Structure 1
Amino acid sequence: MLLNEQQRVSYGDNQGSFAWLRFRPALAWTSILGLVLIVALAILAGVGSLLRLLYPAGVTAVGLLLYLRYPLLYIGFTWWIWFLTPLVRRLIDQQSGWQDPSLVLLAPPLVTLISAVTLIRHLPGAHRQGGLPFILCFSSVFYGFLIGLVQNSLAGTIVALLNWLPPLLFGFHLFAHWQQYPVYRYTIQRTFLWGVLVMGGYGVWQYLVAPDWDRFWLTNAVDTNVFGYAEPLGIRVWSTMNSPQPFAAVMMAGLILLLSNRESLKFAATGVGYLSFLLSLARSGWLSWVAGLMLYMPSLKSHLQVRLLITLMSMALVVVPLASMEPLASEIAPRLESLSNTQEDGSYQARLEGYNELLGEAFTEGIGRGLGVVVESEYLGSHDSGILTMLFSLGWMGTIPYATGMFLIFFQLFQGAEARFDTFASAARAIAFGIFAQIGLNVSMVGVVGMVLWGFLGVGLAASRYYAHRSA
């Protein structure tokens, strides 16, 4: 694909880590930096409460400008809003008082919903362009929404839709623009490189220091010590996210992408990234990383496998000594050991009890209870099982097309040969598979975890179509 001059400015010709420091195009970066400045000044001036409406409105306005004028920057901006908004919410709440639910958290789904324009534009011909799997999944989500309007509260159903729909829209947006796959690949790699560095660095600092806003949030949001204790060296790291599991999902994706990144900055990102990833104590995230890595490595050509092994050994030399130091080792080691001793793992046993209690009932859900239904169990939390959530929310009527659409995408990703020579395409497939593999442990289709799943399914499918078109 040939890029015209305007696209070269928008997409970025320079492949270096610091290419964005040129701040071009000017209008786009003026809007982004203006939003950052307004947020920073409001917090520093002690008037953070104004941001509860201003922040989501500003994010949506900037996102709309980027979507219409600078599509590549829209992709990166959207990811960063998902990465950082929970931290912005905590800073505001610590100043202006606890508020739950918080309007600030509307910013990520709102900026992602802008990509619904892509769905409207491409829907008429989507099935001819390979978009049938997405159509099946969209139909299931809207089916669940309609059932939810009848059976559940209006507010609960709308909130659930804002969790289910944006990741799917974002994945379709990436797929529909498959012609721009090379530049989308670049911006996602760059975004996650800096994302791992920033979120990983903050996560380590959060563990060591326990800043006031994180302690305030932990005290108000969580009734138990499931996220650790509001004190230095006591927090179970969630970094800039809302909880350890979503943070681990994003870090898992970023850390796998680092394996194919050639920038020198990746070694700093690796150190803080893996440390914070381990300090999240999110075993489902660790298992996702292992599953993704096991799929990623064999898919590459032999010379790329050798390069990957060298990269892994280099990263181990950075991470292992750090993770072996106290007090980090005393936090991480017991959690790792629990993976091989499930009989004494209370969380694992509770999940088994929850499945025994609810699975039979879930299998009888023909129509489903609609989006917004809350899976209630003494043993399982509302976010502890994607399988149960899907069956209760969508019923078999919605689950079958949703699962079929997802299966068709994975089938196409495993059929293509691009993963043999394109390390990013291989990584995207591995990341999506790793996130999907935890569906029995987490609701991996919604929220920021769903963004990782559907984002990499979408860009992986875009890679498949791009290379198929090029070889035709």
Structure 2
Amino acid sequence: MDNPERNFSIAPALTALLTISGLVTLLAQARVRTSLAYLALCVLTSMWLLLLGTRRNGTLRAEHFHSNYLFFVIFLWFISPEIRRVDDYFNGWDERSFYTITPLACTLVSAIGWRLRGIGRQPAVFIALLIPAMVLPYVTGLFVAGTMPATFALANWLAPIVFAAYLATNSDAYPSFDSSLRKACVIGTSLMSFYAAYQFAFPPPWDIFWIENAPITSVGLPLPGGFRAFGTMNSPMIFAPVLASLIIYIFFIRIRFKVIILFVATAALLLTSVRAAWGGLVIGVALFVVLRLRKDPTSVWKPVAVGSLGVLAFLAITVYTPYGSKLQDRFDSIGRITEDTSFNERLDVYELGIRRAQSSLGGEGLGTIGTAQALSESSDAETAFDSGLLQIPISLGWISGSWYALLLALAIAQLARGVTKSADPAMPCYLAILVSTLVQMIFSNRLSGPAGFFFFLFLGLYACAKTYKQHNRPLNSVGTGHL
């Protein structure tokens, strides 16, 4: 049996990322619009890596290409928004940029790598059956919202599911996925967190340009220290939940410079000022402790360490930056939640949203609310909706929404079975990330778009790891691997 801890080179994916991003950035500075070229090059690279892996299934060569495809796609979600901002800064604001759909398209390419013989296994079958839940809402959205908003919304909901099914049906490639995931998460978290800290203090002109032009109102002022950090992603509301999931994952693997990475990442998360992600991180860490206490009582020191890092980051930001008073106010508002403006506004959203959900059994359709509305011709586009839970019955309807929720619950329940008895810390780690993300659905939708991609990334890897463990020797990769 092959060693599940073996290291896989990410040189092809890294070379492709550096070449493509470097090329389009240079062309953008030369006043050449590059969004279509970026889309084409990334899709072709994704297909190349995936096809090479699929044609050699069952071999180490196949795992090498699967590993590179995973790394490539994850990093596209990390860097595409930032490259778009550079392009827009030099070439003018592009409301419908191809940069937005590039990560979605490359994620959907994963359908090529589905192994049909694995679809019938649980929980892969539950994940795959989430796809039919999108059919009726999409058709409804075509008539209500229009072709562009409905199709973009469909891609945001569908791509993460397709990717999770790809991971779940390629269980024999789990060692390569695990190796690639560690590298992508560590490098990506480090890059985004350090950049977020720099961005907050010395915002580059393209980020200022984005704040001034993007259809988001809750970021803040385009001034140093005057906005909520969003790193290389489009907004703090996207950056924060993704970063919270990555912090939980990095916290439970053994890597060099772990303390430094966690400290900077925690500080970056605080600078987003997204309280839902703060709470999700705390719940995720706490859940891991509960799940692992029986098997590894010494793991108690880990949440204490990460909590200490959070306190240190909070104190550093409070004492040494102008943002300290604002951050203190955000923490204080948790204690007086009924007086908080955003809390009361969210209560109004829930009250109105429940009425909307009750009025339509079939739902309003995909593209009627959320970021996809930015593609509509409506003058009162509803691009922000402060409830992920209500977005399911409103967009998907009660029929499709119930189907979606039931199958997702069955998939997670099947994966969670026996997690407290598992000696592999990967299992409770993945489960903690999933629960951490789901609790944030009270505030915003975390099951589609970038946040949805990382939710289903860990769901698919959870299914992949569990199937691999059932058919091979026990895993011990998370927590012991090194970069």
Q: CA deviation at 1:280?
A: 0.2
Tell me, in whole angstroms, the C-alpha distance in 1 between the residues paired with 2:329 and 2:66: 45
Q: Secondary structure of 1:103's partner?
A: coil
The equivalent residue for 2:97 is 102
Post-superposition Cα deviations, 1:199-246, rounded to whole Å, max 9, x if no partner, equal 00010011101211111111111464x101101111210111111011
Tell me, in whole angstroms, the C-alpha distance in 2 between the residues paired with 1:223 and 1:52: 21
Q: CA deviation at 1:144?
A: 1.8
Number of equivalenced pairs: 450
- In the superposition, the TM-score normalised over structure 1's length comes to 0.89
Change (3 A) 1:131 1:187: same
The equivalent residue for 2:453 is 451
1:200 corresponds, among 193, 198, 205, to 193
Post-superposition Cα deviations, 1:258-311, rounded to whole Å, max 9, x if no partner, equal 211222222221122111100000111111111211211111123452452464
Confirm or deny: 8 A CA contact 1:275 1:319 kept in the other structure.
Answer: yes
Consecutive aligned runs of 4 or more in structure 1 exceeding 4 Å deviation: 27-30
Post-superposition Cα deviations, 1:18-66, rounded to whole Å, max 9, x if no partner, equal xx5xx3xxx555434322331232244x2341x1211111111111122
Return the letter of the residue paired with 2:223.
E
Confirm or deny: 8 A CA contact 1:416 1:464 kept in the other structure.
Answer: no
Q: CA deviation at 1:458?
A: 1.2
RMSD: 2.5
Tell me, in whole angstroms, the C-alpha distance in 1 between the residues paired with 2:154 and 2:303: 42
Return the letter of the residue paired with 2:205.
D
How do residues 55-134 of structure 1 correspond to structure 2 at under 5 angstroms? 55-69=38-52, 70-119=65-114, 121-122=115-116, 126-134=119-127
Asked if 1:308 corresponds to 2:299, the answer is: no
Confirm or deny: 8 A CA contact 1:418 1:463 kept in the other structure.
Answer: no
Moved more, 277-286 or 301-310: 301-310
The equivalent residue for 1:385 is 387
Q: Secondary structure of 1:156's partner?
A: helix
Tell me, in whole angstroms, the C-alpha distance in 2 between the residues paired with 1:409 and 1:457: 9
- In the superposition, the TM-score normalised over structure 2's length comes to 0.87
Q: CA deviation at 1:321?
A: 4.4
Asked if 1:270 corresponds to 2:262, the answer is: yes
The equivalent residue for 1:16 is none
Asked if 1:35 corresponds to 2:14, the answer is: no
Return the letter of the residue paired with 2:134.
V
Asked if 1:286 corresponds to 2:275, the answer is: no
Q: CA deviation at 1:131?
A: 2.3
Change (3 A) 1:349 1:95: same
1:297 corresponds, among 289, 292, 306, to 289
Gaps of 5+ in 1: 13-19
Post-superposition Cα deviations, 1:49-105, rounded to whole Å, max 9, x if no partner, equal 1x1211111111111122223111111111110011111111000100011121221
Identity of aligned residues (%): 27
Moved more, 418-427 or 438-447: 418-427
The equivalent residue for 1:214 is 207
2:424 corresponds, among 411, 422, 425, to 422
Change (3 A) 1:366 1:314: closer
Tell me, in whole angstroms, the C-alpha distance in 2 between the residues paired with 1:140 and 1:192: 30
The equivalent residue for 1:47 is 31
Tell me, in whole angstroms, the C-alpha distance in 2 between the residues paired with 1:186 and 1:133: 26
Moved more, 91-100 or 33-42: 33-42
Confirm or deny: 8 A CA contact 1:419 1:426 kept in the other structure.
Answer: no
Q: Secondary structure of 1:201's partner?
A: helix
The equivalent residue for 1:191 is 184
Confirm or deny: 8 A CA contact 2:156 2:449 kept in the other structure.
Answer: yes
Gaps of 5+ in 2: 53-64, 374-379, 475-483
The equivalent residue for 1:408 is 410
Change (3 A) 1:255 1:467: same
Tell me, in whole angstroms, the C-alpha distance in 2 between the residues paired with 1:130 and 1:59: 30
Asked if 1:169 corresponds to 2:162, the answer is: yes
Return the letter of the residue paired with 2:16.
S
Confirm or deny: 8 A CA contact 2:318 2:324 kept in the other structure.
Answer: yes
Moved more, 301-310 or 238-247: 301-310
Asked if 1:319 corresponds to 2:313, the answer is: yes
Moved more, 79-88 or 316-325: 316-325
Confirm or deny: 8 A CA contact 1:206 1:237 kept in the other structure.
Answer: yes
Change (3 A) 1:309 1:289: closer
Confirm or deny: 8 A CA contact 1:249 1:452 kept in the other structure.
Answer: no
